[in-house]
Structure 1
Amino acid sequence: MEHLDIQHQLEQLIEIGISLSSEMDTAKLLEKILAGAIQITHADGGTLYRIYDNAIRMEIVHSTSLRIRRGGSSELPVNMPDIPLFLADGSPNMKNVVSCSIHNNSTINIVDAYNDQHFDFSGTKAFDQQNHYRSQSFLAVPMRNHENDIIGILQLINAIDPVSKQITRFDLISQRLTEALASQAAIVITKQRLIADLEEMFESLIRLIATAIDDKSPHTGGHCRRVPELTMMLAEAAHDTQEGYLKDFTMTDADRYELKIAGWLHDCGKITTPEYVIDKSTKLQTIFDRIELVETRFEVLKRDCEIAMLKQHVNALASGQAVNADVESVYKAQLAQLEADLAFIKQANIGAESMSEYDIQRISAFYNQTWQLNAETLPLLSENEIYNLSVARGTLTTEEREIINHHISATIAMLEKIRFPKHLKNVPEYAGGHHERMDGKGYPKGLRREDMSIQARTMAIADIFEALTAKDRPYKHGKKLSESLAILEKMKNNQHIDPDLYEAFIKQKVYKRYAEKVFRRLSN
């Protein structure tokens, strides 16, 4: 019978070990460890402690007979004071069983706590008196990881004889099995902690890259943080959609994590984009805004007009003739025309949503107007200035737009060089598709809707809507919510963005929740 019981305990240990290796939730893992130890030793209860700096903290407390389950995934906190590893004078605390077990790096097996003179069981006795309980046998086992560091203690109370149901001591077999479980559990906990630490470090590096890109230009600050936030909000809306095209789209926690990482990395290629392109707030901006040079030329032209007018006055007076009244009128008309031309150029320099063909031709005509500098006749606007001012949309020339657009190719190239683990294998595809269009007219690959995942299409909408509403762009003011939604609807109708995701965006008021969250954050 004893042989069969040992075999059963070994089988239980194996099953518990298999269960521990597949558990990713820390609270559930700790509960499985304690419950497993109680099960294989036939203990009435037990406590799992973990070490935090110089303190030993109760994480989980279970008692079968008292029906106590505290800590772990239960809603009831342990609410017990930490046990100090060291006393006030700096000496090791050898009065408590668990701290002594840690300091001696050994298992402590106590037959009867009430007859033990080595440890302070006053707290235990007070607990017993309050709960009408009798704590008798104790087994405290250090949890040592692969580096032989003690990360916690398994303490079991009151071994129960399976036959007589009476409290007995923890026999050697139970002790060794618990030590084996504690060792295995420590390795699993450490592995889980290492994975969590690596993930935290990985996310910190990703946030560092995103922050560096945002900080690279004051005009893009927050973009790399807001896009993943909006992406996740829209993805959740798609996940919650119960009808139509999106009804079968679901996300696990792992899927959400993968998409979040992709969101943080979606513009990592911008780290290669020159600041002078990112920060170009007007069409004539280079190191500085060249509109100042244009203003100077117009001031010279105004001066020349005034000089010409005054010369005519002087010549008339010198010859004894009356001053022609038309001279003053012509001068005022010339000034008015110069003011109007300069205002037009200034307006063109700002970079509106669109510039008409007529306005572009008007800009080109300024090349034929001249001004004088050190007796040299020069065009009022140079070829390069006309080229920049003739940009139909925004502030970037074709070449500068290609530089900006290259960031997505750089993003894809950078991400494809990273050896992502299996659960993050889709990050390059999600992050690299946010400038593609549903009709295949996007970039860099010209993908169509069916070539892209729903996640990538989600990020595309998030990137566009963030850009429309952002108030920190160098070339425009943030648009009102109504304006942004109207533009987004046009983009849906023009097959620029996914129509089903657009419907989820509107029906579930993702735009409203995003706006409220961002505006609330900005107001704080």
Structure 2
Amino acid sequence: MASPRQALQGKESSATHLARELEELNRIGIALAETRDIEQLLPLILRKAREIAGADAGSLYLVEQDRSALTGPRRSGDQRQARCLRLRLMQNDSVGVCFAEHTLPLRENSIAGYCALRGEVIELADAYQLPAGLPYPFNSMFDEQSGYRTRSLVALPMKNGKGEVLGVLQLINCKRNLRARLLTEADMAKSVQPFPPRSVRLGLSLASQAAVAYENSKLYGELANLFDGFVSAAVKAVEQRDPATSGHSQRVCHMTLALADAVDRVTHGPYADLHFSPAQRNELRYAALLHDFGKVGVREDVLVKAKKLYPLHFARVMDRFDYIRKEAEVRYLRQTLEVILSLPQNRAQGKMDEIDEQGARLFDELERCVELIRKANEPTVLPSAELAALREIARRTYLDPGGVEHPYLTAEEVRFLSIPRGTLDQTERLQIESHVMHSFNFLMQIPWTQELRRIPEIVRAHHEKLNGKGYPAGLTAGEIPVQAKIMTVCDIFDALSASDRPYKRAVPAERALEILQLCAREKEIDRELYRLFVEAKIYQRAAEPA
């Protein structure tokens, strides 16, 4: 009989052991909670379960919808027929594992299926010596193919907080010595033992933690997919309002990420110590895709304005000149008729020739006016002589049917046709530039996660220039996020080289690079990022899918 002192020492030892177990489970729980990527989480779950239970090998099954059953006939309310088990992972410390992920029916005629359906722990001292009457056999296919020998086995249901079984952890061959490799029957006899109650208890606790972590990871993935879908829909919404720029956001995104990767690889220069984590890269991806979303807040006619005059206004000018011509034709015909009726034939012919010459000169002049207006309406810079001729046209007048005098061109029409660059006047250009703040204000309404919180700031700065002459805030080099600097280089290149803008002609890639180089010299864009853009041939990625 143990002495009181021995009993006390035993209790202290047991308490210490329990504290260590709880501490280990807590560490594992933290590790599982911090791992969001399912492809990283599942191997971690199985490895930690094997470690805590002392298992040489193991496999992980997930319960999922059976798509083949869902597409075929199914009895109403029979949920089991719509589910299956997917073998997602196998690990083994003693032999190499080569397996193909596959599914099996969720039925009680397999160890994992029974565990999943009943939600019960299955413990086997020897998988080849099963008690009579069990509904499931042991599947020895892996042993036969690999030369391995399964002895002790425990199957643990992965239950979430609602008691639903999300998967099964199957642990194989509990080892007395964790470093031992099980290569022979002698190794098995020496090292393998049944899983002790402590290992089963710890494994079951970990299986529950794993189920919650898996469920959270799956939910996180679904939310990420949901947000990706929202971003894609947002980009399409912009493209539908401005079809001319279709594909721009995806191309900018693709080049931006490629340039960020190039920055990651540099070993010298100002960006040698700059590296983007996967989370920061994802943040940059979203920012690049959403950088023009604010265009939904810009008037559509301004957004897609291809010529200096809006189509309706240009048609009005053409109708006006058509009226002037027809009115002149009627006037000259009336004059001709008056000559015929009032003068003898020998005198009338000379007068009619004079009227015809006047008409021909006027019609030629009207044709030249129309051609000049058509030319001025294009997004090009007019030579000063033609600009003066345009103003001269505006000084000419005609009479409407009521006898009221009007100019050939209104002051507003002359102002638009005199736009020195592009198709937008100052007011319209400010409306286009407002898309940046529309984007920022929209993105600020989204409750971003900590990892994505800088997206609005990056987007707001993608039209800023290092010399402080950009918009909307006139930020200088030190105030502009490097992510925005990267995006700006790619955005400018695509705007120059893309053949999707009706108001400008695309320039060849070589010319676009020359313009970017000039921007770098003028300290509008980052010189080092421009160098990387050229050296890494990022511009060639514009044609690749994002």
Alignment TM-score, normalising by the size of structure 2: 0.84
Tell me, yes or no, if structure 1 residue 301 matches structure 2 residue 324.
yes
Identity %: 30
Q: Is the 8 A contact 2:84 2:104 kept in 1?
A: yes
Aligned counterpart for 2:88 among listed residues 45, 59, 68? 59
Tell me, yes or no, if structure 1 residue 503 matches structure 2 residue 531.
yes
For 2:527 and 2:144, how far apart are their aligned partners in 1? 69
Match of 2:100 in 1: 79
Give the match's secondary structure for 2:434.
helix
Give the match's secondary structure for 1:290.
helix
Shift in Å, 1:350 = 2.0
Match of 1:73 in 2: none
Q: Is the 8 A contact 1:263 1:431 kept in 2?
A: yes
Shift in Å, 1:24 = 4.0
Letter in 2 for 1:170: F
Shift in Å, 1:236 = 2.4
Show the 5 A alignment for 1:476-495: 476-495=504-523
Give the match's secondary structure for 2:421.
coil
Match of 1:34 in 2: 46
Shift in Å, 1:17 = 3.4
Change (3 A) 1:6 1:491: closer
Match of 2:282 in 1: 257
Change (3 A) 1:146 1:357: farther
Deviation digits for residues 216-268 of structure 1 (CA, Å, limit 9, x no counterpart): 23223222322222222222233333343333332221221111111122122
Show the 5 A alignment for 1:414-453: 414-453=442-481
Greater mean deviation of Cα atoms: 466-475 or 311-320: 311-320
Tell me, yes or no, if structure 1 residue 115 matches structure 2 residue 130.
yes
Greater mean deviation of Cα atoms: 240-249 or 141-150: 240-249
Q: Is the 8 A contact 1:282 1:289 kept in 2?
A: no
Letter in 1 for 2:192: I
Letter in 2 for 1:156: L
Show the 5 A alignment for 1:150-229: 150-162=165-177, 165-229=190-254
Q: Is the 8 A contact 2:254 2:544 kept in 1?
A: no
Tell me, yes or no, if structure 1 residue 371 matches structure 2 residue 424.
no
Letter in 2 for 1:347: K
Shift in Å, 1:436 = 1.2
Letter in 1 for 2:224: E
Change (3 A) 1:310 1:224: same
Change (3 A) 1:355 1:430: farther
For 1:472 and 1:266, how far apart are their aligned partners in 2? 18
Match of 2:160 in 1: 145
Aligned counterpart for 1:271 among listed residues 296, 318, 333? 296
For 1:196 and 1:40, how far apart are their aligned partners in 2? 28
Change (3 A) 1:400 1:150: same
Q: Runs of 5+ in structure 1 lacking a partner?
A: 70-75, 86-92
Change (3 A) 1:103 1:443: same
Shift in Å, 1:440 = 0.9
Q: Is the 8 A contact 1:438 1:448 kept in 2?
A: yes
Change (3 A) 1:299 1:9: closer
Q: Is the 8 A contact 1:355 1:393 kept in 2?
A: no
Give the match's secondary structure for 1:245.
coil
Shift in Å, 1:414 = 2.3
Q: Is the 8 A contact 1:297 1:371 kept in 2?
A: no
Task: Count matched residues.
Answer: 499
For 1:80 and 1:494, how far apart are their aligned partners in 2? 57
Q: Runs of 5+ in structure 2 lacking a partner?
A: 1-9, 66-82, 179-188
Show the 5 A alignment for 1:99-114: 99-113=113-127, 114=129
Change (3 A) 1:219 1:112: same
For 2:336 and 2:118, how far apart are their aligned partners in 1? 109
Match of 1:97 in 2: 111
For 1:192 and 1:122, how far apart are their aligned partners in 2? 31
Q: Is the 8 A contact 1:300 1:371 kept in 2?
A: no
Shift in Å, 1:8 = 6.4
Letter in 2 for 1:217: D
Deviation digits for residues 56-114 of structure 1 (CA, Å, limit 9, x no counterpart): 1111212333x134xxxxxx5x22642201xxxxxxx2111111111111111123332
Q: Is the 8 A contact 1:144 1:183 kept in 2?
A: yes
Letter in 2 for 1:121: P
Shift in Å, 1:316 = 4.9
Letter in 2 for 1:419: P
Change (3 A) 1:155 1:311: same
Alignment TM-score, normalising by the size of structure 1: 0.87
Greater mean deviation of Cα atoms: 3-12 or 131-140: 3-12
Tell me, yes or no, if structure 1 residue 47 matches structure 2 residue 59.
yes
Change (3 A) 1:15 1:299: closer
State the superposition RMSD in angstroms.
2.7
Deviation digits for residues 446-502 of structure 1 (CA, Å, limit 9, x no counterpart): 111221122111212222222222323232233332332333333333332222222
Shift in Å, 1:129 = 4.1
Give the match's secondary structure for 2:516.
helix
Match of 1:291 in 2: 314
